[in-house]
Amino acid sequence: PLYAKGAGVAVASGSLADALLHPQVIVCLVPAFSIIRLALIGTGVLPSKNTLRAVSRSGDRTELLRGPLFYSVCLAVLAGVFWRESPTALVAMSVLCIGDGLADVVGRRLGKGNPLPFNRNKSYAGSIAMMLGAFLGSLAFAYVFVKACGIGIWTGAPGDGILDFAVKSLAICATSALVEALPINAIIDDNISVPVVAIFMSRLCFGR
């Protein structure tokens, strides 16, 4: 839920910033604020039990300086580099902010009794929720930009190539959900592995 709100604010900021001189700078302010806040809390400069409880899995404040901080940096990169210029930002941000959050929430509530065969700590319910949530989120984000801003997300003209966009988005979301479920996340924080794969797959599929 926390990341989903961040995505919504970022998309709204992008729409609002459309008429401004430097829209990328405006949109980057959202994840930039998160980066600064996580750094301050992680180093102990700014105590915040609520943030620590919401973001940290172990309760150790220094954990915020690893996965969560990298996660926010990825959002800043997506907003600053790809915003409005490529579907990469919309799809990858949907994976990170909506899909990844749903995987945890749905997995905890509905994942008992349906573990994945290659990782008993993950469930079909969580992985499917991540894939579908991220996919539907990417379509919703794209719709906002096409309708509200008149920006051609698909191929340069609003409405063109929507099926191609949907197929590629689904492939990106499915691959990201698979990576999130792999046992390697016991070694590599999924706040690092998922963003990297989401951005890589988006660039690979859309080529821009």
pLDDT computed for residue 150 by the predictor: 56
Distance CA 189, CA 50 (A): 21
Query: Which residues, at least 6 apart from 48, have a Cβ–Cβ distance to it below 8 Å?
Result: 37, 41
User: What single DSSP character describes residue 22?
Assistant: -
pLDDT (tens place) for every residue of the chain, 208 residues total? 444 444 444 554 444 445 445 667 777 888 888 899 999 998 989 888 888 887 777 778 888 888 788 888 888 888 788 766 678 888 888 898 899 889 988 998 998 889 999 999 899 999 999 999 999 999 988 887 777 655 555 544 444 577 888 889 999 999 999 999 998 877 887 778 888 898 899 888 887 6
pLDDT computed for residue 106 by the predictor: 94
The reported pTM is: 0.78
**DSSP track, 59-104:** S-GGGGGTHHHHHHHHHHHIIIIITTT-THHHHHHHIIIIIHHHHH
Distance CA 205, CA 127 (A): 21
Residues 7-47: tens digit of each pLDDT: 444 554 444 445 445 667 777 888 888 899 999 998 989 88
User: What single DSSP character describes residue 109?
Assistant: H
